[in-house]
Amino acid sequence: MFTDEKLFTKNGYFNPKNDVIWADDRSDANKRGELHSMQQYPVSVMVAVGATWYGLTRLYFFLKGEHLTDQSYQDKLLPFYKEEGERLLRHKNWDFQHDGASSHTADKAQK
């Protein structure tokens, strides 16, 4: 099972190095309406999901204001992924893979 977590915000993702406007000057760019505005505290939701050969896990929605920490990963997400893995893979032998996020590689989460 491959897993990942993602924070989605109403602002989306803006990369000033890649999101470029080609214009002769700033006023020309402004006329095109190509300004990127952002809210200071946008609506956001954090979601976790796992993918297997047999399908996707259910989505795991974090509570409002909850962030991924080594403790929440160990106490909430790992049991969720285990339960979903057993549901999808029907108790076959299976491997669990996550990325190198600090909450995944913390000593607590590795035990």
For 38-77, the pLDDT digits (tens) are 566 667 899 999 999 999 999 999 998 888 888 888 899 9
Q: Residue 48: how many CB atoms within 10 A of its CB?
A: 20
The pTM (predicted TM-score) of the whole model is 0.68
List the one residue out of 108, 103, 90 whose CA is nearest residue 3. 103
pLDDT greater at residue 93 or residue 30? 93
Residue 23: per-residue pLDDT: 73
At the second CATH level, the architecture of 2-110 is 2-Layer Sandwich (3.30)
**Exposure on the CB side of residue 49, measured as CA atoms within 13 A:** 11
